[in-house]
Amino acid sequence: MIEVLEIKNLKSIKNLNLSCLKINIFIGEPNTGKSNILESLGVLSFLAYGNKSSLKDFVRYETLSNLFFDEDLENELQIRLQHKTASDVFEIIFTQEDRFKGTYFGYDVSKNFKTDKKNLFEFDYMAKGQYEREQRFEHIKFYRFEKRGLFPEKYSSCLLPPFGSNLLSVLKTHKNLKQEIIDNFLKPFDYKLMFKPQENKIEIVKQYDDILISIPYALISDTFQRLIFYLTTILSNRDSVLVFEEPESHTFPYYTKFLAESIALDDKNNQFFISTHNPYFLFSVLEKSKKDDIAVFVVYMENFETKARKLTQQEIEEAMNIGLDFFFNLDRFKNEEQE
């Protein structure tokens, strides 16, 4: 588990140090940098699951200089993950050859030992160039929902970041997960699930008299597609860091609560980093989570820099008492201190 996430010189983040727990939720007004915090982990997820042309699937930019705070290329971009007595550090530096070099090194605090730097990529401004995957970051999984009609990937252990291109294979091989989806989303509407592995397709089937009518997966409700995506992510992963940006978007309140409780009740040793604007989602997670498992960060902008403050347990209880009005009173929970 990530105990401390430290981010330096990434987009709107100049220097941020976050003390993390099992479930980490980021709230705040738009354009304060919540997505940038999540994308720091997206960069690391790219190192394990991306390819030479897919960095934009994990982090938003037009040219790589956009990744640097104020586009200042003289200072390295750094992401540090601390786990108990060891740290993993990833840096991007801009070289004299006008290249962006991504490097990794580890640090053992107990032994005061730093490993040699390992070069992972060397890109031009458009992220074209040499790239090598790094297995060390395979447990960090940045997910972004998109509507899909085809699921060609055959890997089946867990849903693949960022878009779940192997959803068909995962549902086919995880019996309990498949039944969970059928029971909660399809059976109440008398729908059935159909797999077409030769065509890499999933379809939803309804029966009218003696006739079976199939509906392409991409045409079912946005709510159900999102829920199936995120529930598959949660239930197919173990011992992983899962990163979601507003997973409750476009979701009916009942299912917002269902998704929030699925996260809160996770028993597979996953860690979550989630942004949300939805009080119903936030309070549903808070109600079902153990107090020692959840951290809520209020994210705000100060002098054009992203800041984040971790709420105390007393403040979390106060927020739950305030209810929906909590999101209208976030200024009360800001200060200059960062945790």
Output the CA–CA distances (angstroms, integers) from residue 297 to 93, 127, 314, 334, in the order listed.
29, 32, 14, 10
276 vs 210: which has the higher pLDDT? 276
Output the CA–CA distances (angstroms, integers) from residue 70 to 9, 10, 56, 110, 269, in the order listed.
8, 9, 19, 35, 37
**b/e per residue, 94-105, with b = 16+ CB within 10 A?**
beeeebbbbbbe
Model confidence pLDDT, tens digit, residues 160-179: 999 999 999 999 999 999 99
Question: Pairing mode, if any, of strands 129-131 and 77-83?
Answer: unpaired
Which CATH fold topology does 4-139+239-333 show?
Answer: Rossmann fold (3.40.50)
Residue 328 pLDDT more than 70?
yes
pTM for the predicted model, two decimal places: 0.95
Residue 296's contacts (CB-CB under 8 Å, 6 or more residues apart) are: 25, 27, 282, 286, 310, 311, 316, 319
Model confidence pLDDT, tens digit, residues 103-138: 999 988 777 778 888 999 999 999 999 999 999 999
Residue 263 pLDDT more than 60?
yes
Mean pLDDT of the chain: 94
Q: Give the pLDDT confidence score for residue 107 in this predicted structure.
A: 87
DSSP annotation of 116: P
248 vs 332: which has the higher pLDDT? 248
Confidence of residue 339 (pLDDT cuts 50, 70, 90): very low
User: Where exactly are the structural domains of the chain?
Assistant: 4-139+239-333, 163-235
Residue 308 pLDDT more than 90?
yes
Q: Give the pLDDT confidence score for residue 336 in this predicted structure.
A: 44
Q: Give the pLDDT confidence score for residue 85 in this predicted structure.
A: 81
